[in-house]
Amino acid sequence: MGFSALDYAVLAAYLAGITIFGAQFRSRYSSVSDYFIGGRNTSWWVISLSIVATETSTLTLIGVPAIAFATYARPEQGGNLTYLQVVAGYIVARVLIAWLFIPAYFQGEMLTAYELLQRRFGTRAKHFTASLFLLMRPLAEGVRVYAASLVLTAVISGPLAGVPHLWAWSIVIVGALTLIYTFEGGIAAVIWTDLIQLVIYIGGSLLAAWQLVHLVPGEVIIRSTPRSGMLHVGRVPKATQDHDHVLKQIAADLVAANFDVPLPEDVMAWKYRKLISNIGNVFQALVARNGDWRPLAADAEAEARRVLDEAGIGYISETEETAARAAGFTMKSVTGVPDSVGGSTWQSLQRGTGNIETDYLNGEIAMIAHRAGMAAPINERLAILARRAAAAGAKPGEMSAEQLAALLPR
């Protein structure tokens, strides 16, 4: 899975745009001093954000979450928030630098930190520190650039999978463009392009975090024992001998996953029995424990049975379903999990997904009724109320049983 044509266009436009933007700053300089210190007219908050952008990289965005959330044999290796100690050190260091060193820059005409070291500790200290920086910084930045190239290669490969050493080409291209705008625009170009890139990756990180909330699977709570559940499997129309082996293989796989899997001749009768059983899900979601909604659920289920009966749709009786379930599993409490945690419809409101399954439960009863020339006012109204609650971000139990009863037709 790689980039689309639009993705490539956006990437190319960004690379070209950031290079042109950075190079434009060359027209602002009238001296070497302006080139290195930007004329001392850049806002403090821009410089601050630029420093943050400089200190973060691909390793920060990708490596730190991996270290924090992975599982390691020893706590000091990761799997916790130990890395936050580094961030705390950054805060302390910035306070000390602002207190001890920044005033010296404004008192003199120094362009680099090495001039300050020369004045305080002599030429040898300056040369040693500069040499150490020139040695260690390329090694550190080399790791960061290489890591970024691997990420970029993984993202843009696909159509470019046949290009040899794609990671090296990404380093060459990005490095060349960065060199151009840095050389042409000086320190101001570095500051402002850093700011733009900070905004982009912070915005992207927030968007990714928002997506993860909705895409990462939640915890699965199984309240049944000894089987995890029951799934009736069959073909529609009814199965023929030629397809029995397919059904048996599916059933065998599900049984291996600890499910009870009957193979009824008419699976649709079980489907409609399940539909009736789930009619009450909407009450658990809308009302939860805010009142006794069981009489309302009984009315909705009675309407559903009437609609199916008049439409000529057969379904398994409640007695037969109860007996089948009792033979496969019984319900139990789960340690550490309150019984108030509801089913799938309840979870849709609790997670705030914006959608809800009731269109395929109460809504299906309403659809069958309309197709047969009947009305199912209770279930139709329930589907509408559930859809509105999901769209509004309502949580389970925000409506009382009395309030819901007042909104349902009688």
The full DSSP string for 322-388 is HHHHHHHEEE---TTS-TT---HHHHHHHHT-S--GGGGTHHHHHHHHHHTT---HHHHHHHHHHHH
What single-letter amino acid sits at 199? Answer: V
Query: Do 275 and 352 share a domain, yes or no?
Result: yes
Kindly report the backbone phi and psi dihedral angles of residue 289, in degrees, each rounded to the nearest multiple of 5, phi listed first: -105, 20
Among 173, 194, 215, which residue terminates a domain?
Answer: 215
Residue 120 included in any domain: yes
Question: In angstroms, rounded to a whole number, what is the distance separating the alpha carbons of residues 219 and 212?
Answer: 14
Kindly report the backbone phi and psi dihedral angles of residue 331, in degrees, each rounded to the nearest multiple of 5, phi listed first: -90, 150
Query: Do 99 and 23 share a domain, yes or no?
Result: yes
Return left, alpha or beta for 155; rule: phi > 0 is left, psi -120 to 50 is alpha, else beta: alpha
Query: Do 291 and 199 share a domain, yes or no?
Result: no
Query: Do 206 and 271 share a domain, yes or no?
Result: no
Residue 227 included in any domain: no
pTM of the model: 0.52
Residue 251 included in any domain: no
Residue 237 included in any domain: no
Query: Do 175 and 284 share a domain, yes or no?
Result: no
SS3 284: helix
Query: Do 47 and 136 share a domain, yes or no?
Result: yes
Per-residue pLDDT of the chain (410 residues; tens, 9 = 90+): 557 778 888 888 988 998 898 888 877 777 777 777 766 777 888 888 888 887 777 777 777 777 777 777 777 677 777 777 877 888 888 888 888 777 776 776 677 778 888 888 899 999 999 999 999 888 888 888 888 888 778 777 766 767 788 888 888 888 888 888 888 888 888 888 888 888 888 888 888 888 877 776 667 778 888 888 889 998 887 755 556 788 889 999 999 999 999 888 889 999 999 999 999 999 999 998 899 999 999 999 999 999 999 999 999 998 888 888 887 778 788 887 777 667 889 989 988 888 999 999 999 999 999 999 999 999 999 999 999 999 999 999 999 999 999 999 98
* Sequential DSSP letters for 144-165: HHHHHHHHHHHHHTGGGTTSTT
Question: In angstroms, rounded to a whole number, what is the distance separating the alpha carbons of residues 325 and 327?
Answer: 5
Which residues, including other chains, have CB under 8 Å from residue 130's CB and lie 6 or more apart? 114
Query: Do 50 and 198 share a domain, yes or no?
Result: yes
Residue 139 included in any domain: yes
* Residue 396: DSSP 8-state: T
CATH code at position 349: 1.10.1040.10
| Structural domain boundaries enclosing 302 | 267-407
Residue 260 included in any domain: no
Q: Looking at the 3D structure of the chain, how many domains does it have?
A: 2
Query: Do 299 and 395 share a domain, yes or no?
Result: yes
Residue 231 included in any domain: no
Query: Do 19 and 143 share a domain, yes or no?
Result: yes
Burial zone of 356 (CB within 10 Å; 0-12 exposed, 13-18 middle, 19+ buried)? buried
Query: Do 274 and 207 share a domain, yes or no?
Result: no
Among 183, 215, 247, which residue terminates a domain?
Answer: 215
Query: Do 207 and 284 share a domain, yes or no?
Result: no
What single-letter amino acid sits at 152? Answer: L
Residue 262 included in any domain: no
Query: Do 184 and 295 share a domain, yes or no?
Result: no
Among 182, 215, 248, which residue terminates a domain?
Answer: 215
